[in-house]
Amino acid sequence: MNQLIISAATEGAAAANPLAPNLWEMGVVLAGFAVLFYIVVKFVVPMFEKTFAERAEAIEGGIAKAEKAQAEASAALEEYRQQLTDARAEANRIREEARAEGAQILAELKAKAAAESARITEQAHAQIESERQAAVVALRAEVGTLATTLAGRIVGEALDDDERAARVVDRFLAELETQSAGAAK
């Protein structure tokens, strides 16, 4: 009996050894692991890879679209800057043309004003000269009449003869002009 107890104790001790694995449990666990591994490799991993590939493609497509949009924006910006430069140059050209045209119009107006002023001045001088001549003629006639009357009183005889009166008036006016010229010097 002792031996039975010892052999039972030995078998129980061998079965109770936690470091010695149970082969049936290991087989079941390995079979379960193999089935689970097969399911993961066959179905789950391809879905993850598909999703990863779609996301990578979407990101790469987004990056390409962003780069394309950036290139288009850069081209549009450059075109805008060129148009702005052209517009500024055109505005400067138009401004310079307007200044030149304004200066030309101003010069033409000044020339017209100077010509009109010269014409008006010449016309005024001509009118003044005409009025002076008329005044001289009127004064000569008046002075002639007065001189003839005065000379007739001084001489004591009437100077009714027109020819004699004209000579007396001319002599009198010549003496007055000579005296005026001598006094002016």
pTM: 0.38
Tens-binned pLDDT, residue by residue, of the chain (185 aa): 566 655 554 555 555 677 888 889 999 999 999 999 999 999 999 999 999 999 999 999 889 888 999 999 999 999 999 999 999 999 999 999 999 999 999 999 999 999 999 999 999 999 898 988 888 778 777 777 777 777 667 765 566 666 766 777 778 778 878 887 777 66
Structure tokens at 55: 């996301």
Helices and strands per DSSP (H, E), number in the chain: 4, 0
Please check whether residue 140 is in contact with residue 173, taking contact to mean a CB–CB distance below 8 angstroms: yes
Phi-psi region of 156 (alpha: psi -120 to 50; beta: other; left: phi over 0): left
pLDDT for the residue numbered 28: 95
Q: How far apart are CA 21 and CA 5, in angstroms?
A: 24
Q: How far apart are CA 103 and CA 107, in angstroms?
A: 6
pLDDT for the residue numbered 161: 66
pLDDT for the residue numbered 37: 96
Nearest to 151 by CA among 140, 160, 139, 141: 160
Burial (CB count within 10 angstroms: exposed 0-12, middle 13-18, buried 19+), residue 152: middle
Give the CA angle between residues 42, 47, 52 to the nearest 5°. 135
pLDDT for the residue numbered 2: 62
For the chain, helix, strand, coil in percent to 5 are 90, 0, 10
Task: Kindly give, in sequence order, each residue whose CB lies less than 8 Å from that of residue 176, ignoring residues fewer than 6 positions away.
Answer: none
